[in-house]
């Protein structure tokens, strides 16, 4: 990954974007794609779509990632000035206590999620408390001081930043799924540079973590799209505390992951695998017997059924402040998306160019 691409990734990962509060991250994304897209559109809720206009007779493909991350929201201010919080999305109660957080008020407010010292806890008191019972300490003495700084409904995120690990690996919060939004933007840029025949959209959706809401909006709005490729993270299963027999053999550094089953349209699966072989991109396969758990689940049911595919980035420690990915996998996803765009341009045009032949 070159310096310009890495700077874009770092900017995305450093920009807080809890579900429902994605504006700042979407601004980073749109500023980047505006340099090479033919057009960039943003809807009322902040879903952003950039398009490269290909041959009007060729199919149209949308490659997507979601901009939002999990987090918390201020739900109450206690008399002593502590803040009660609730979840935004699937925040993990087992990793939140003792963490630095930022309350995104009118001006950012720093705080910590309190954790009683081990010396003051009974031996049997090590159960993980639910998020509703946890609190943020912003250092004030009473509710009046707290309310001068924050309001009910202000979002809260962990304060961890991007850290480089060995080789091409990095750790950050919110990799799920601003890494996917990065890949969608980069896939579009590389498809544009390759001058593919297909029309290609790159889309950064909102509110995936609270129910695929942005994808439901986009799936209806982009009426001319023949196929959606949703990029998200998936669980890498190569760390010691994961039972491989339960999770499947997904490894960091072994390439993008192509889903099979459920929302994953078989014609698109085959097209993606062929495109990967043509572009010399190593890929892994993952089974999705019931659902993918990604925006693909929303895209494929809109407008009477639109072919969709889930492509994933291997990710360790999902929904924690220290998610770990390999940048070579991320680059591989962007290359794969561009290759899918090129392959789509070779598909025979028609009313349903990716339909199953039965």
Residues taking part in catalysis: 208
327-345 and 175-193 are packed helices; what angle lies between their axes, rounded to 10 degrees? 40
Beta-carbon contacts of residue 144 (< 8 Å; ≥ 6 apart): none
The helix/strand/coil state of 25 is helix
* 92 labelled binding-site residue: no
The first and second tokens of residue 147, run together, are 């309310």
Alpha-carbon distance of 145 to 209, in angstroms, equals 32
Cis peptide before 26 (omega within 30 of 0): no
* 66 labelled binding-site residue: yes
Alpha-carbon distance of 260 to 68, in angstroms, equals 25
* 76 labelled binding-site residue: no
Alpha-carbon distance of 133 to 310, in angstroms, equals 36
The first and second tokens of residue 13, run together, are 């990962």
Alpha-carbon distance of 332 to 7, in angstroms, equals 17
CB 93 within 8 A of CB 80: no
* 195 labelled binding-site residue: no
Q: Which of 45, 42, 44 is nearest to 29 (CA)?
A: 42
* 119 labelled binding-site residue: no
Q: Which residues are annotated as a binding site?
A: 66, 176, 209, 232, 319
Binding site membership for Zn(2+): which residues? 66, 176, 209, 232, 319
């Amino acid at each position: 990954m070159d310096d310009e691409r890495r700077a874009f990734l770092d900017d995305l990962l450093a920009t807080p974007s809890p579900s429902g509060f994605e504006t700042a991250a979407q601004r980073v994304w749109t500023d980047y794609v505006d340099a090479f897209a033919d057009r960039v559109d943003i809807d009322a809720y902040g879903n952003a779509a950039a398009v490269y206009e290909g041959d009007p007779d060729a199919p149209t493909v949308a490659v997507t990632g979601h901009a939002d991350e999990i987090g918390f929201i201020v739900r109450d201010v206690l008399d002593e000035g502590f803040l009660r919080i609730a979840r935004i999305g699937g925040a993990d109660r087992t990793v939140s206590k003792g963490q630095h957080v930022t309350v995104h008020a009118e001006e950012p407010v720093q705080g910590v999620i309190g954790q009683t010292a081990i010396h003051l806890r009974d031996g049997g008191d090590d159960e993980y408390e639910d998020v509703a019972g946890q609190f943020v300490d912003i250092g004030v003495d009473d509710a009046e001081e707290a309310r001068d700084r924050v309001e009910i409904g202000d979002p809260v995120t962990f304060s961890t930043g991007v850290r480089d690990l060995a080789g091409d690996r990095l750790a950050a919060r919110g990799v799920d799924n601003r890494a996917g939004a990065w890949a969608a933007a980069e896939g579009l840029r590389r498809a544009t540079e390759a001058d593919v025949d297909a029309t290609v959209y790159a889309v950064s959706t909102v509110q995936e973590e609270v129910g695929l809401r942005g994808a439901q909006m986009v799936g209806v709005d982009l009426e001319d799209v023949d196929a959606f490729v949703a990029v998200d993270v998936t669980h890498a299963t190569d760390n010691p505390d994961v039972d491989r027999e339960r999770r499947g053999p997904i490894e960091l550094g072994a390439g993008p992951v192509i889903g099979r089953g459920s929302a994953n349209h078989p014609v698109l699966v085959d097209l993606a695998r062929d495109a990967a072989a043509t572009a010399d991109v190593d890929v892994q396969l993952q089974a999705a017997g019931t659902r993918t758990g990604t925006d693909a689940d929303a895209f494929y049911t809109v407008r009477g059924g639109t072919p969709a595919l889930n492509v994933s980035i291997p990710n360790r420690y999902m929904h924690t402040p220290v998610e770990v990915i390999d940048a070579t996998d991320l680059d591989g996803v962007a290359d794969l998306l561009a290759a899918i765009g090129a392959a789509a341009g070779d598909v025979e045009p028609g009313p349903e160019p990716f339909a199953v032949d039965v």
